[in-house]
Amino acid sequence: MAATLNQANTAWVLTSTALVLFMTIPGLSLFYGGLVRSKNVLSVLMQCFSITCLVSILWLAGAYSFIFADGGDWQGFIGGAEKMFVPDMGTASLTGDIPETVYFMFQMTFAIITPALIVGGFAERMKFSSMLWFSALWLILVYTPVCHWLWGGGWLAQLGAKDFAGGIVIHVNAGVAALVAALVMGPRRGFPTTAMPPHNMTMVVTGAGMLWFGWFGFNGGSALTSNGNAGMAIAVTHIAAAAGSLTWMSIEWLRFGKPSVLGIVTGMVAGLGTITPASGFVGPFGGLVIGIIAGTVCFYATQYVKRRLKIDDSLDVFPVHGVGGCIGSILTGVFAADSLGGLGLAGISMQEQVGVQALAVLATAAWSAVFSYLALKVIDMAIGLRVSEDIEVEGLDIGLHEETGYHNL
Question: pLDDT digits over 192-224, tens only?
Answer: 999 899 999 999 999 999 999 999 999 999 999
The pLDDT value given to residue 304:
92
Structural domains in the chain, CATH included, are 7-401 (1.10.3430.10)
The pLDDT value given to residue 207:
98
Confirm if 397 and 405 have CB atoms less than 8 A apart. Answer: yes
CA 52 from centre of chain? 14
The pLDDT value given to residue 93:
95
Measured CA distances, 55 to 106, 134, 136, 139, 210 (Å): 13, 12, 7, 8, 21
Confirm if 17 and 106 have CB atoms less than 8 A apart. Answer: yes
pTM of this prediction?
0.96
Rounded CA gap, 298 and 245, in Å? 11
Rounded CA gap, 333 and 355, in Å? 8
The pLDDT value given to residue 2:
66
Rounded CA gap, 219 and 281, in Å? 11
DSSP code string of 157-199: HHHT---SSSIIIIIIHHHHHHHHHHHHH-PPTTTTTS----S
**pLDDT tens across the length of the chain (409 residues):** 568 999 999 999 999 999 999 999 999 999 999 999 999 999 999 999 999 999 999 999 999 999 999 999 999 999 999 999 999 999 999 999 999 999 999 999 999 999 999 999 999 999 999 999 999 999 999 999 999 999 999 999 999 999 999 999 999 999 999 999 999 999 999 999 998 999 999 999 999 999 999 999 999 999 999 999 999 999 999 999 999 999 999 999 999 999 999 999 999 999 999 999 999 999 999 999 999 999 999 999 999 998 889 999 999 999 999 999 999 999 999 999 999 999 898 889 999 999 999 999 999 999 999 999 999 999 999 999 999 999 999 999 999 999 999 986 5
Phi, psi of 341 (to 5 degrees): 90, 5
Confirm if 53 and 132 have CB atoms less than 8 A apart. Answer: no
The pLDDT value given to residue 190:
93
Confirm if 143 and 172 have CB atoms less than 8 A apart. Answer: no
Question: pLDDT digits over 10-55, tens only?
Answer: 999 999 999 999 999 999 999 999 999 999 999 999 999 999 999 9
- Of 237, 75, 274, give the one whose Cα is nearest residue 156: 75
User: 387: buried, middle or exposed (CB in 10 Å: 19+, 13-18, 0-12)?
Assistant: buried
